[in-house]
Structure 1
Amino acid sequence: MGSSLGVLNDGTVTDEIIGYRREIADLTQRIKNRRLQVLGLYGTPVALVLLALSWAGLKIFVWLHGDTPSAVNGICFAGIVVLGLASAVQFSVEFQSEHWEDSGKSIRALKLELSLTEERHVLEIRRRTPPPQDRQASYKEKLPSEIFRLRQDSRRYRRMHLVMQWLLFISSAAISAVTAWYDPPQPAKGALIGLGFTVTVITGAAGYFKPRERAFNLQQTADSIQQHVTALELGIAPYNASEEKLNLELFATTVERLRAEQRMREQQLDQPQQGQQQVI
């Protein structure tokens, strides 16, 4: 009976903590939505006024002694009508709470509500903190998503590197081909300028962002973490101690060290070349 009550209490605590996290996620999304609402609420009338002033300015400073082109008049008139309707709709919806969840509420109030919810969440977790062994076991269960994220980022940077390299190869080859085809290269001057600009931009971007190095580091970290996860599950070295507590402690320490090394490598890649040499 006592054990069943303990399980029930643990389930209730877990549901409460999950409820706090859901409330935090909901408030975060509500703040984003409210920012968009406020931006549209105040930005649309400002855009309407600016468009009207621009239309009047064009008439005064450009076509004062002549007729304004019908295309300009049509575009400006259509823009004013659309912005006017959008402003009217947004103002009407703002004062009808059944359409917008947080209509009439400031972003500051939502941020305060989010801060209080996060504080309650922290206090609840601190009051019911599980022992280190349980936290280390749950830490192991969170790692598959981290490994997936690292590999996904690695694939993204690898694709970026491949696209850059192919564009660089094609543009470099096209410069030589266009130069050899036209003699003198006057008809293809625009193409040569564009291709040379592309080569310069890709070379500079590849040297600055270093997608190949980032992809390699991310994949290496993901593979290392996966190797330690497999070793822990199979109970092989270095996680072959008789006590599970020691294995979990060593596992958490090792994975955190790998993640710290990954962050350090990312910081080194973000630094200029001179700064990297000094760090090394």
Structure 2
Amino acid sequence: MATSTSTVLSIDQGIIEWESAIAQGKFVKRLAFLWMTAGNLAVASGIVAGNLFIDSSAGLGALNVWGNVGFLASLIASSIVWYRCRSNVIEGSVERLKLEAERNALQAAETTSPNTSSAFYFYRESVPGFRDDYRRSAEKYRNRHNLFQLTVIVGSILTSVSTTASAEQGVWSWLAVGLSAIVSISAGIIAYFKFRERSLNLQQTADAIDLEIQAYALRIRRYRDLPPDQAATLFAEEIERLREEQRKKELQLEQPPEAAPQQRPPLSN
């Protein structure tokens, strides 16, 4: 028993180390993506602005050459860094899943009792994974919503400024048109994909699953004074009910507004 416990502890330590490496890899990956998109866009915008506002007699040809070389080198370097970070995150996730499967197998061999089947044990161990998946998806949709919403806000302000400045220089009118198109596209994406609603539904489901996990572990609320087999059955039923409700919410978001069923009051005789 002591040997098995030490093995589980060493596996937990390995999982913690991999989770730390994955978190660090994701952070660097985000920086690389920001560099690959916003950084290179800023460099390209600088090159375009230089061609528009700098006199061609001031050595603009050499500036364009070095600017294009720097832009190409930055684009290649940022793509390589992003791809390597992505590969490291995937590799770390695979190793973590392997360790978690090994730990679950060891714990199942020790803790499975006549009143609780091994199938339920593996199901119970997978429930935190459901919760974490919902939370990660909620964070993903929340970040997308914030990105497009920020694009709409900043783009609207810049469009107004560009429209005002277009009275003096014609280039600002084209900039205003481009910014207006970006704002319209971003607003349309927000309205169609409903990132905020998806994030809210996923976060609510994750929080509800977390409450059920805590209630079952502490034997409180609906699990108070229940035999182990009945508590296990009730726990599994409640988790599956929450997951089924989440699937229904996702299907409702996929339907257009005109496809939603409209309830009409019954006609009175």
Q: 2:193 aligns with which of 182, 185, 209?
A: 209
How many residue pairs end up in the alignment? Answer: 151
| Residue identity opposite 2:194 in structure 1 | K
Q: CA, structure 1 residues 265+226, in 2 after alignment: closer, same or farther (shift >3 Å)?
A: same
Deviations 1:113-158 (A, max 9, x none): xxxxxxxxxxxxxxxxx99844233211111111111111111001
Deviations 1:204-238 (A, max 9, x none): 10011111111111111001001000000001011
> TM-score under structure 2 normalisation?
0.52
Q: Please state whether the residue corresponding to 1:187 is helix, strand or coil.
A: helix
* Residue 181 of structure 2 corresponds to residue 197 of structure 1: yes
2:150 paired residue number: 166
Aligned to 1:136: 120
Relative to 1, partners in 2 of residues 1:188 and 1:278: Cα closer, same or farther, differing over 3 Å? same
Q: Which amino acid aligns with 1:154?
A: A
Residue type of the alignment partner of 2:119: R
Could you list the runs of 5+ residues in structure 2 that have no partner in the other structure?
1-113, 264-269
Q: Cα deviation per residue 1:166-192 (whole Å; 9 max; x = unaligned)?
A: 100011001111112232663322111
CA contact (8 A) 2:134 2:202 kept: yes
Report the alpha carbon displacement of residue 264 of structure 1 after superposing the two structures with TM.
0.5
The letter for the 2-side match of 1:180 is T
Q: Secondary structure at the match of 2:126?
A: helix
In the alignment, which of 213, 226, 243 is matched to residue 242 of structure 1?
A: 226
Superposed CA deviations along residues 72-103 of structure 1, whole A, max 9, x for unmatched, are: xxxxxxxxxxxxxxxxxxxxxxxxxxxxxxxx
Runs of 4 or more off by more than 6 Å in structure 1? none
Query: Which of these two proteins has the greater Rg computed from alpha carbons?
Result: 1
Alignment correspondent of 2:163: 179
Q: 1:229 aligns with which of 198, 204, 213?
A: 213
Letter in 2 for 1:174: L
SS at 2:170's partner residue? coil
Q: For residue 35 of structure 1, what is the aligned residue in structure 2? A: none
Unaligned runs of 5+ in 1: 1-129
Q: Partners in 2 of 1:174 and 1:249 — Cα distance?
A: 58
Letter in 1 for 2:230: L
Q: What is the distance in 2 between the residues matched to 1:185 and 1:149?
A: 51
Letter in 2 for 1:197: A
2:116 touches 2:228 (CA, 8 Å); kept in 1? Answer: no
Cα separation, 2, equivalents of 1:153 and 1:278: 30
Percent sequence identity over aligned pairs: 33
The one-letter code matched in structure 2 to 1:234 is L
Q: For 1:102-141, what aligned pairs fall within 5 Å after superposition?
A: 133-141=117-125
- Higher mean C-alpha deviation, range 132-141 or range 199-208: 132-141
Amino acid of the residue matched to residue 199 of structure 1? V
Spell out the pairing of 1:1-280 with structure 2 (5 A cutoff).
Answer: 133-183=117-167, 186-276=170-260, 278=262
Cα 1:255–1:185 change in 2 (3 A) is farther
Note the alpha carbon deviations across 1:42-94, whole angstroms, 9 max, x for none: xxxxxxxxxxxxxxxxxxxxxxxxxxxxxxxxxxxxxxxxxxxxxxxxxxxxx
C-alpha contact (below 8 Å) 2:139/2:199 kept by paired residues? yes
Change (3 A) 1:145 1:207: same
What amino acid is aligned across from residue 237 of structure 2 in structure 1? T
Distance in 2, Cα, partners of 1:186 & 1:153: 44
- 8 Å CA contact retained: 1:182, 1:188: yes
- Following the alignment from structure 2 to structure 1, what is the Cα–Cα distance between the partners of residues 199 and 171? 41
- Mapped partners of 2:201, 2:259: distance in 1: 19
Report the alpha carbon displacement of residue 277 of structure 1 after superposing the two structures with TM: 5.3
Deviates more, 1:236-245 or 1:218-227: 236-245
Deviations 1:240-266 (A, max 9, x none): 133111111111111101000000000
